[in-house]
Amino acid sequence: MSLQQELRLRRRYMTAVAASATGRNAYFVIVAWLEAAFDNGPAWIAVLLALGSIAEFLTANLSGIIADRYERRIVCLICDIARILLMITTMSGMMYLDPVAVLAVSWVVYAVIDRTHTTALQAMIPSMAAPGRLIRTNSLSYMNMQGGNLLAAIAGGLLLALFPNHLAFVLPLGFYALSFWAMLSSQIRSTCHQAPTMHRPTLWARELLPSALPAGPLRGAAVIYALIYAMGMLVSVLGSALVMKDLKGTALAFGYLEAFWAAGAIAGCAYLMTLTRRSHSLAAQLAASGCVLAIFLVVQDLNLALLQMTALGITYNISRILIDARVQELVSIDALGRGKSQIHTLCVGFGLLTYSFVAVAGNSVKPSVVFGCFGLLMIAVGAILLILPKSEPRSGGLSET
């Protein structure tokens, strides 16, 4: 493959990443705001997201197996078609049926489709990057992803403010169509599917069940990832309620909150891409995120909240990129889908506990208090991991503590 062909392939891949992320975040923003607008409160939003997480928890391993057994580009194309059809169905259902029920069903189905797409898409990265460039390539991928999130946050808020509710889903539909085109024209082939001697692994029933905590050098990273992932879930669950109840903001303010999160995430990617030294403390990132969240216990101000979301976006993305690169270094490419899904299963399981708390607490606990208390938990876990003896990774560059 010539250099020009390789650059073209990467551009198409990054276009697919950005388009998919834009559609995903637009869908999240639209559903979260509509549920809040229907006066269901944070408890129902937590229940809705928990339903999607349960679906992910039960099918995450299957998504990983699909990504490992079949051509990952084809898997992404099929998922894009499924997401386009789902957006059309959701728009139609909201016009003629109970919108709350339609959103609930749409969310559960979407969770399974999107998880399969994301697993297959991320598993392509080692096919395009040498081991020494995994952090940089992941950073570039996440930068495109967060750029899409930034666009979706602003556009989603504007659409919700200017157009009927059901028409807002035109935005994610359009970007899923763009993702389909980019992947269709990319001709990416995963290394594990090119090797003629590679045999597809036998599919056992137990492989379809949720996995236990990953063993070995990935265990500490998985625990940190679970907490970081739950933090992102809290922002999704309580972001709209935080704006409405504690910050007294509008739909546009909610869009700004999401946009500043995405801007911070982009800054985190840029930070990693410019570094020459590849030693980072995941536990320190966890503790830093906790400190930012804990501020909500003391001050609730929209302008300050925008800065907090920026900082959280930075630490959130840095942690995810470092852990993704670590998984790609330590797991063989033909098992990468299952390796990532195993960690994701743990993340979703912990996220379900978080959702359960929010659902039980309902409107009795202010969103700012939930954010602050979770921040204290992250600080405590981060401090413990910093005190524990440091683990030495088998391939240099990433430290759990």
When the pLDDT of each residue in the chain is averaged and rounded to a whole number, the result is 75
Where do we find the tokens 């509710």? 165
Tell the burial category of 39 from Cβ atoms under 10 Å away from its Cβ (0-12, 13-18, 19+). Answer: exposed
In a domain, 378, yes or no: yes
Where residue 57 sits, what CATH number does that domain have? 1.20.1250.20
Q: Is residue 225 part of a domain?
A: yes
203 lies in some domain: no
Whether the full predicted model's pTM is greater than 0.85, yes or no, is no
Q: What is the pLDDT of residue 270?
A: 79
Predicted confidence band at 84 (pLDDT cuts at 50, 70, 90)? very high
pLDDT greater than 70 at residue 39: no
385 within domain boundaries: yes
Decide if 196 is inside a domain. no
Per the model's pLDDT, the better-predicted residue between 237 and 191 turns out to be: 237
For the ranges 34-38, 75-79, 226-230, the maximum mean pLDDT occurs at 75-79
Torsion, Cα of 6, 9, 11, 12 (10° steps) = 180
DSSP state of 393: -
More confident residue, 236 or 42: 236
SS3 content of the chain, % helix, strand, coil (to 5): 80, 0, 15
Tell me the pLDDT tens digit for each residue of 150-209.
Answer: 677 667 666 666 666 667 788 888 889 998 988 887 766 654 444 333 344 444 444 544
Tokens of 105: 């069903």
Residue 76, domain member (yes or no): yes
| Cα–Cα distance measured from residue 269 to residue 266, given in angstroms and rounded to the nearest whole number | 5
Model confidence at 86, pLDDT cuts 50, 70, 90, reads very high
| 204 lies in some domain | no
Dist CA 31 CA 35 (whole Å): 6
The more confidently predicted of residues 201 and 364 is 364
195 lies in some domain: no
* Percent of the chain topping pLDDT 90: 4
pLDDT at residue 196 in the model: 39
Whether the predicted pLDDT of 82 surpasses 90: yes
The total of structural domains in the chain comes to 1
**Secondary structure (DSSP) of 282-318:** HHHHHHHHHHHHHGGGT---HHHHHHHHHHHHHHHHH
- Render pLDDT for 247-273 as a digit per residue (tens, 0 to 9): 777 767 777 887 788 788 888 877 877
Residue 275 token pair: 């570094």
Average pLDDT (325-342) is 70
Q: Is the dihedral of CA 380, 369, 357, 106 positive or negative?
A: negative
281-321 per-position pLDDT tens digit: 777 888 888 899 999 888 888 888 889 989 998 888 888 88
| pLDDT at 394 (0 to 100) | 42
**Is residue 127 pLDDT above 80, yes or no?**
no
| H helices present in 38-133, as ranges | 41-69, 72-96, 99-122
pLDDT of 218 reads: 67
* Residue span of the structural domain in which 302 resides: 3-190+209-399
Residue 398: in which H helix or E strand, if any? strand 398-399
Residue 281, strand partner residues: 399
How far, in Å, CA of 281 to CA of 180, rounded? 37
User: What's the half-sphere exposure (Cβ side, CA atoms, 13 Å) at 33?
Assistant: 28
Residue 368 has pLDDT above 80, yes or no: yes
pLDDT given at position 255: 75
As a whole number, mean pLDDT of residues 41-70 equals 73
User: Where does the pLDDT of residue 85 fall: very low under 50, low under 70, confident under 90, or very high at 90 and above?
Assistant: very high
Q: Which residue has the higher pLDDT, 170 or 78?
A: 78
Exposed/middle/buried for residue 44 (C-beta within 10 Å: 0-12, 13-18, 19+): middle
